[in-house]
Amino acid sequence: MSQSGRLYRQMFAFGSRDLTHWFPSHMAKGMKKMMAMLKKVDLVIEVHDARIPLAGRNPMLKELLGVRPSLLILNKMDLADLRITRMVVKKLKEEDGVDQVMYTECLTQHSRSAKKIIPKIVEIIESCDRYNRTDEVEYSILCTGIPNVGKSSLINAMRRLHIKKGKGTSIGQMPGVTKSVLHKIRVNERPTVWLYDSPGVLTPKIQHPEVGMKLAVCGTIPDHRVGVDIICDYLLYTLNKQELYSYVEYFELNSPTDDVMEVLYHIADKVNERPTVWLYDSPGVLTPKIQHPEVGMKLAVCGTIPDHRVGVDIICDYLLYTLNKQELYSYVEYFELNSPTDDVMEVLYHIADKYKKTSLLKTFDGSVVRRPNTFAAADIMLHAFRKGKLGRVTMDAT
């Protein structure tokens, strides 16, 4: 019974579903490659989900962590209850011998926690014996962990924050996105730090079904391996057990419940209140015959009729006529003219000169001269109008 007096399950029935076997071939290959790589790295980073800090860590990685200095990064801290941080760190040290632990979140553009990763790495490496790598100026680290704990996001955050570069590895919502083994990525410049990425590796056999269920809730095991309804049931059981009832307000339930089907039926009904709207797209269709030439010219100015069907210089002439007629002189400032004008060629010559648009023409005597390219200038003028650079204009206002 909770403090609120409600009765909830004290145990979860896992049934006969096997949650303990999901070990794709790329994981086995990854483990072998990582073992062979240890002589080339100074430190091993293990990335794990902060929501399951004590469950699901791959015991096979302990062999890796025992050979080189290591750092355990509990990622996705923005999704975890941080009130138990001290207890978690203490347990990790007492039960698993983990001395170096960091909590991070890596999706925020200027994440403070992510900024601390490289300095911590350098501090650990410089405080330990580097053995065969003593003479190496550059540092190398190996990044490992179980699937879908944010390794790729963490790597990209380090690159973004320390070398101002984009993505070094792809990101996905499903486990198993990173399948390439030991992809080498630079994550810092001074000192130079190279990181070897690896696929997430689960243990070939998860000893307890509840550990497997926690991994499934956090997305480390693919949903279809367990069943989304069962995962939701365990999630509901966990939320109620910890007296975390935010799901009631989020899904607009009347009260907390221990019945997952009641929740799912309510969500299904809530979603169905928003009817699905299908839209069928079709090609743009003009009338076979435009009755008045001015209508056709307005369509051309707005880009509905291809420019070459009319001529960009003629379209610009009509556009200039319209702007002047409506006393919309923003083109003067935009193209840095001295004053409004009704001469389209004056505008186009000025634009050609301003944007250095010229073309070579052969004269009657065979010599070649450079002339302003008024067609290129016309393209610039039309582009500026169609992108709204010349102000808000309604062609039908005249």
Question: Domain for residue 280, yes or no?
Answer: no
Domains held by the chain: number: 3
Structural domain boundaries, residue 174 = 25-197
List alpha helices for the chain, DSSP H. 25-37, 61-67, 85-96, 112-115, 117-126, 151-162, 209-217, 223-226, 228-241, 246-250, 260-272, 293-301, 307-310, 312-325, 330-334, 344-354, 374-386
DSSP 234-284: HHHHHHHHTT--HHHHHTT-SS--S-HHHHHHHHHHHHHTS----------
Beta bridge partners of 368: 362
d(CA 260, CA 159): 42
Pair (29, 174) in one structural domain? yes
What is the structure's pLDDT at 12?
87
Pair (148, 66) in one structural domain? yes
Instruction: Give tens-digit pLDDT for 254-268.
Output: 999 999 999 999 998
Pair (162, 31) in one structural domain? yes
**Residues 6 or more apart from 227 whose CB is under 8 A from it?**
17
What is the structure's pLDDT at 212?
85
d(CA 32, CA 207): 22
Provide the whole-model pTM: 0.62
d(CA 396, CA 394): 5
**Residues 6 or more apart from 59 whose CB is under 8 A from it?**
203
Pair (343, 383) in one structural domain? yes
Give the tokens for residue 208. Answer: 């307890």
Instruction: Give tens-digit pLDDT for 308-317.
Output: 999 999 999 9
Print burial letters for 295-328: b (CB count within 10 Å at least 16), e (below 16). ebbbbbbeeebebeebebbebbbbbbebbeeeeb
CATH classification at residue 72: 3.40.50.300
Domain boundary among 167, 197, 227: 197
Question: Domain for residue 228, yes or no?
Answer: yes
Q: Is 274 buried (19+), middle (13-18) or exposed (0-12) by CB count in 10 A?
A: exposed
Peptide bond into 209 cis (omega under 30): no
Instruction: Give tens-digit pLDDT for 168-225.
Output: 555 444 444 444 557 789 999 999 999 998 887 877 677 788 888 898 999 988 888 8
Cβ atoms of 49 and 154 within 8 Å: the answer is no
Pair (300, 387) in one structural domain? yes
Question: Domain for residue 65, yes or no?
Answer: yes
φ, ψ at 372 (rounded to 5°): -60, 135
Give the single-character DSSP code of 103. Answer: E
Give the tokens for residue 182. Answer: 């030991």
Domain boundary among 133, 165, 197: 197
Pair (192, 214) in one structural domain? no
d(CA 245, CA 261): 17
If we measure between CA atoms, which residue out of 378, 317, 375 comes closest to residue 344?
A: 317
d(CA 197, CA 184): 6
CATH classification at residue 377: 1.10.1580.10
Q: At what angle do helices 293-301 and 312-325 cross, to 10 degrees?
A: 100
In which residue are the tokens 């810092």 written? 188
Cβ atoms of 113 and 103 within 8 Å: the answer is yes
Give the tokens for residue 249. Answer: 């307000």
What mean pLDDT comes out for the span 354-361?
Answer: 90
If we measure between CA atoms, which residue out of 65, 55, 62, 48 comes closest to residue 102?
A: 48
Cβ atoms of 86 and 113 within 8 Å: the answer is no
Question: Domain for residue 247, yes or no?
Answer: yes
Pair (63, 153) in one structural domain? yes
φ, ψ at 19 (rounded to 5°): -105, 5
Question: Domain for residue 14, yes or no?
Answer: no
Mean pLDDT of the chain: 86
What is the structure's pLDDT at 363?
77
Question: Domain for residue 10, yes or no?
Answer: no
What mean pLDDT comes out for the span 86-90?
Answer: 95
Pair (264, 301) in one structural domain? no
φ, ψ at 361 (rounded to 5°): -120, 140
**More confident site: 11 or 350:** 350
If we measure between CA atoms, which residue out of 397, 379, 381, 375 comes closest to residue 331?
A: 381
Pair (215, 315) in one structural domain? no
Pair (381, 320) in one structural domain? yes
Question: Domain for residue 12, yes or no?
Answer: no
Pair (42, 131) in one structural domain? yes
CA 356 from centre of chain: 40
Pair (137, 30) in one structural domain? yes
Res. 340 pLDDT band, cuts 50 70 90: very high
Question: Domain for residue 9, yes or no?
Answer: no
Instruction: Give tens-digit pLDDT for 279-322.
Output: 888 888 888 888 888 899 999 999 999 999 999 999 999 999 99
Domain boundary among 197, 222, 253: 197
Instruction: Give tens-digit pLDDT for 102-159.
Output: 999 998 888 999 999 999 999 999 999 988 898 999 999 999 988 889 998 999 999 9
